[in-house]
């Protein structure tokens, strides 16, 4: 039995993903992934790498995620699954790379600057 344990990140969400041979059951933080992600878009995001490589019913996915919001968590799980699939079979790399599933999204929230209410927002200017 081959287990692949890899990490996926997006914004402040971090997902530890375990991929093992099975029948396609996906568990997120101990819950079924349909309950953890009620939005269809998030579920399709998670299943993306498995659909591209035609391995939907072959592997069980166990994911522990913390930090971030729903979208960030779903995309961090997606990256973890894609990296684990490449670890199991290096031939999947070209298909996953073409879809952009192996690229970590570098966008983060910009920090708040002192003397300003938010990162870019300024207080109202008064000439007099």
Cβ count near 83 (within 10 Å) = 21
* Ranges of H-type helices in 53-92: 70-88
Position 4 scores a pLDDT of 81
Position 128 scores a pLDDT of 85
CA 22 – CA 128 distance, rounded (Å): 71
- pLDDT tens string 22-53: 999 999 999 998 999 999 999 999 999 999 99
pTM, rounded to two decimals? 0.90
- pLDDT tens string 43-93: 999 999 999 999 998 999 999 999 999 999 999 999 999 999 999 999 999
Domains, the chain, with CATH or none: 3-99 (3.30.230.10)
């Amino acid at each position: 039995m081959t287990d692949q344990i890899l990490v996926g990140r997006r914004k402040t969400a971090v997902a530890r993903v375990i991929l093992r041979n099975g029948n396609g059951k996906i568990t997120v933080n101990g819950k079924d992934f349909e309950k953890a992600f009620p939005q269809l878009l998030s579920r399709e995001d998670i299943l993306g790498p498995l659909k591209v490589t035609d391995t939907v019913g072959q592997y069980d996915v166990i994911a522990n995620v913390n930090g971030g919001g729903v979208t960030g968590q779903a995309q961090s799980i997606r990256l973890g699954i894609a990296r684990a699939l490449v670890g199991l079979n290096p031939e999947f790399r070209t298909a996953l790379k073409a879809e952009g599933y192996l690229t970590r999204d570098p966008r983060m929230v910009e920090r708040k600057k002192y003397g300003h209410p938010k990162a870019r927002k300024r207080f109202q200017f008064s000439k007099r």
